[in-house]
């Protein structure tokens, strides 16, 4: 039986993931470069979390190692966002979010090799089913999209970066239990520092938003998706195992696929819907203890 705090953490994680998926639609409508959008998203979040930290009175971690781990988490988060944006431009919001969600594989592998988390037969089967479902959803893209290869590479690597970012959030709390606002502020500032030079190199011509509408969308993207959604995710991670975390995070690609179909009118075939069903079953199996 899952404890009450674990249930609450799981619900918060799913809500955060769905909001994360909505952010992919915003990215699809912006003319700003992939690295630049990630930079501005973290910049908006940094301002908000600085205000929240100041008025809440929450303290930064005293241990240097905890601050270092939080900064490393922000570094990986920055490149997760940038590469995810690249994948969105190449294959669309739904497919790119699905590829990013292959983090389920990375998280389970890290949990097994790094944290010595034991995998039950049910968990192994659910992980296999989840990866199969994601593959079924994404594979048809290769038949008609010349950018599919880069979209798949950037999407898969972004998932690895996200998994590493989550691992270092967990390690931060293992060194010293850290309040959420200072933690998110460190992540945002570290991510901004990591992205500034790549933004200047790759997105110098597309660094600034073109009009007021794009500024508003970036503000929404940073405030809702980075502050609220990622805050929920970071809050929930220490309360759940890495394997269960990875499976619950698969609620994000399902939401993104529906959004892609309803709002962006992307055609989704029968094989892709079957893959979505497999992924949902995998999420359910991953929540079972026996």
For residue 105, CA distances in Å to 101, 123, 131, 137 come to 9, 11, 7, 16
Q: Does the structure show a pLDDT above 90 at 260?
A: no
2-34 tens-digit pLDDT? 444 667 778 888 888 778 777 888 888 899 999
- Number of domains within the chain: 1
Mean pLDDT score across all residues of the chain? 84
Q: What does the pLDDT read at residue 5?
A: 63
Contacts (Cβ under 8 Å, ≥6 apart) of 17: 229, 233, 248, 249, 251, 252, 255
Is the pLDDT at 151 greater than 80? The verdict is yes
What mean pLDDT is predicted for residues 73-89? 94
Tokens 């999209």 found at:
145
pLDDT at 55 over 70: yes
Q: Measured between alpha carbons, how far is 279 from 273 in angstroms, rounded to an integer?
A: 10
pLDDT of residue 265: 74
Cβ atoms 108, 129 nearer than 8 A: no
In DSSP notation, 46-68 reads HHHHHHHHHHHTPPPPS-HHHHH
Percent of the chain with pLDDT over 90: 38
Share of the chain above pLDDT 70, in %: 92
Radius of gyration of the chain (CA): 18
Among 155, 30, 190, residue whose Cα is nearest residue 82 = 155
Averaged over 227-231, what is the pLDDT? 80
Q: Which residues contact 55 (CB under 8 A, 6 or more apart)?
A: none
- Token pair 């952010």 is at which residue? 23
Cα distance between residue 115 and residue 61, in whole Å:
23
Out of 109-113, 134-138, 248-252, least confident range: 248-252
Residues 177-184, mean pLDDT to the nearest whole number: 90
Answer yes or no: is pLDDT of 267 > 60.
Answer: yes
Q: Averaging pLDDT over each range in 2-6, 132-136, 148-152, 280-284, which range is the top one? A: 148-152
What gap in Å lies between CA 74 and CA 266, rounded to an integer? 32
**Angular region, 60: left φ>0, alpha ψ -120 to 50, beta rest:** beta
The string of pLDDT tens digits covering residues 199-213 is 999 999 999 999 999
Residue among 110, 90, 75, 74 nearest 154 (CA) = 90
Q: Which of 218-222, 229-233, 271-275, 278-282 shows the highest mean pLDDT?
A: 218-222
203-232 average pLDDT score = 89
Kindly report whether the global pTM for this prediction surpasses the value 0.85: no
- The mean-pLDDT minimum among 37-41, 42-46, 129-133, 178-182 falls in 129-133
Query: What local confidence, expressed as pLDDT, does residue 96 receive?
Result: 84
Report the helix count and the strand count for the chain, using DSSP H and E.
13, 0
Whether residue 137 is predicted with pLDDT greater than 60 in this model: the reply is yes
Distance of alpha carbon 158 from alpha carbon 99, whole angstroms: 8
Ramachandran sector of residue 118 (left: φ over 0; alpha: ψ -120 to 50; beta: rest): beta
- Res. 1 pLDDT band, cuts 50 70 90: very low
Whole domain around residue 44: which residue ranges? 4-286
- Region label for 92, one of left (φ > 0), alpha (ψ between -120 and 50) or beta (otherwise): left
């Amino acid at each position: 039986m899952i404890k009450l705090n674990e249930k609450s953490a799981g619900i918060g994680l799913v809500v955060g993931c769905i909001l994360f998926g909505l952010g992919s639609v915003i990215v699809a409508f912006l003319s700003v470069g992939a690295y630049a959008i990630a930079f501005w998203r973290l910049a908006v979040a940094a301002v908000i979390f600085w205000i929240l930290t100041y008025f809440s009175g929450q303290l930064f971690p005293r241990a240097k190692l905890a601050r270092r781990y939080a900064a490393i988490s922000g570094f990986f988060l920055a490149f997760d966002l940038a590469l995810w944006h690249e994948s969105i431009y190449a294959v669309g919001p739904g497919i790119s979010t699905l590829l990013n969600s292959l983090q389920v594989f990375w998280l389970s592998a890290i949990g097994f090799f790094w944290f010595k988390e034991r995998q039950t037969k049910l968990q192994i089967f659910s992980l296999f089913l989840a990866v199969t479902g994601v593959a079924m959803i994404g594979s048809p893209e290769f038949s008609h999209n010349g950018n599919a290869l880069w979209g798949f590479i950037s999407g898969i690597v972004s998932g690895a970066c996200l998994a590493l970012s989550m691992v270092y959030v967990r390690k931060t709390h293992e060194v010293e239990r850290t309040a959420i606002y200072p933690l998110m502020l460190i992540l945002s500032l570290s991510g901004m520092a990591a992205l500034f030079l790549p933004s200047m190199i790759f997105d110098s011509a597309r660094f600034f938003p073109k009009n007021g509408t794009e500024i508003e969308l970036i503000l929404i993207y940073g405030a809702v998706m980075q502050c609220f959604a990622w805050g929920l995710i970071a809050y929930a991670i220490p309360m759940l195992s890495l394997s269960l975390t990875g499976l619950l995070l698969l609620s994000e690609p399902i939401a993104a696929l529906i959004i892609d179909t309803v709002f962006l009118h992307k055609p989704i075939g029968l094989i892709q819907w079957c893959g979505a069903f497999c992924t949902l079953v995998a999420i359910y199996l991953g929540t079972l203890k026996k």
